[in-house]
Amino acid sequence: MSRTKSRNILGWIGTYALWISMTLITLLPIYWLFVVSARTRVELFGRPTLLQTSFYIDNYLKPLSTPAFQRYLTNSLIVATSNALLVAVLAVLATYALSRWKLGGSDSIFFWLITNRMAPAAAFILPLYLLFTRAFRLGDVTLYDTRIGLILLYCLFNLPFAIWLMKGMMDGIPIELDEAAFVDGASTWTVLTRIIVPLAGPGIAVTVILSWVFAWNEYLFAASLTSVQARTITTGLAEFVTVTGTNWGEMAAVSFISLLPALIFLAFVQRYIVMGLTFGAVKE
């Protein structure tokens, strides 16, 4: 066997060994979360082992049979999905206007938008709490502890990031496509829906994914601006920590369940994340 071929084989083995090691390191916390969720309280405080041969299903059945946690899970699904869709629509419209129409000061607007994400989230808790409980009031109804309040709030923080994410994809679509469509008599709305949106599919998919994940995982605002009706699954995990101790098994089970919708959602949309769809799309 030649020396060059031996080096190629060793390099191939080393590359796969590195990727396998990184995959195992990444999946180890998720596996350990499942192991904790499958053990009884006695097993959890016994000698720790990586292998799990039994499965204590009560850790899953007990929280899922509780109306409160069913409501938390439903709230998270509604809030995250609504926020992702609303952010994607607004980001496409805003990015198209700023990128295609060449408005005065558009670069400054892009920079100003991203600065909204630079401040720590904790700095907004007090003003947002006052806005939710006092400013936006309709009779006795406020935005506090409502799904619509969380959806709008998450849009406030996810939209700047989504616009910046979409800007690169929008700039990569040749403007000649717009001009050719206008020459053929297409309206602005037709250009946006028939040309820009299909070609910007990868960017829109990434925007939806990240906005959905950010809203699903958010804890600070959900814990501060909800109390009962609009609480999400992330805030519900805190209920397993009591003055008498922490129910680690049920907490791990609910945490593992909260991972499943995100994994299912990613499985459906990941195939749309394909780059380079605009190559060769310029009309001759």
* CA atoms lying within 13 Å on the CB side of residue 64: 12
pLDDT reported for residue 84: 93
**CA nearest 83: which of 170, 1, 162, 174?**
162
Element spanning 114, H or E: helix 106-115
pLDDT confidence of residue 281: 44
pLDDT at residue 283 in the model: 43
Q: How far apart are CA 22 and CA 28, in angstroms?
A: 10
Single out the residue in 56, 80, 99 at which a domain terminates. 56
Kindly state whether residues 95 and 181 are assigned to the same domain: yes
120 and 33 in one domain?
no
Question: What's the count of helices (H) and strands (E) in the chain, helices before strands?
Answer: 14, 4
120 part of a folded domain: yes
Domain assignment present for residue 277? The answer is: no
DSSP SS3 for 2: coil
The CB density around residue 142, as the number of other CB atoms within 10 Å, is: 16
Angle between the N-to-C axes of helices 248-269 and 201-217, in degrees from 0 to 180, rounded to the nearest 10: 170
Determine the residue type at 242: T
What pLDDT was estimated at residue 273? Answer: 57
Cα–Cα dist 25/18, whole Å = 11
Give yes or no: residues 127 and 24 share one domain: no
- On whether both 4 and 134 belong to a single domain, the answer is no
State which residues form the domain around 123: 57-272
DSSP 192: I
Low-confidence ranges of the chain (pLDDT < 70): 1-5, 102-107, 139, 269-284
Q: Kind of pairing, strands 241-242 and 141-142?
A: unpaired
Q: Are residues 185 and 204 in the same domain?
A: yes
Global confidence as pTM: 0.81
pLDDT for residue 50: 79
- Total domains in the chain come to 2
Residue that terminates a domain, selected from 56, 73, 91: 56
The secondary element (H helix, E strand) that includes residue 138 is strand 137-138
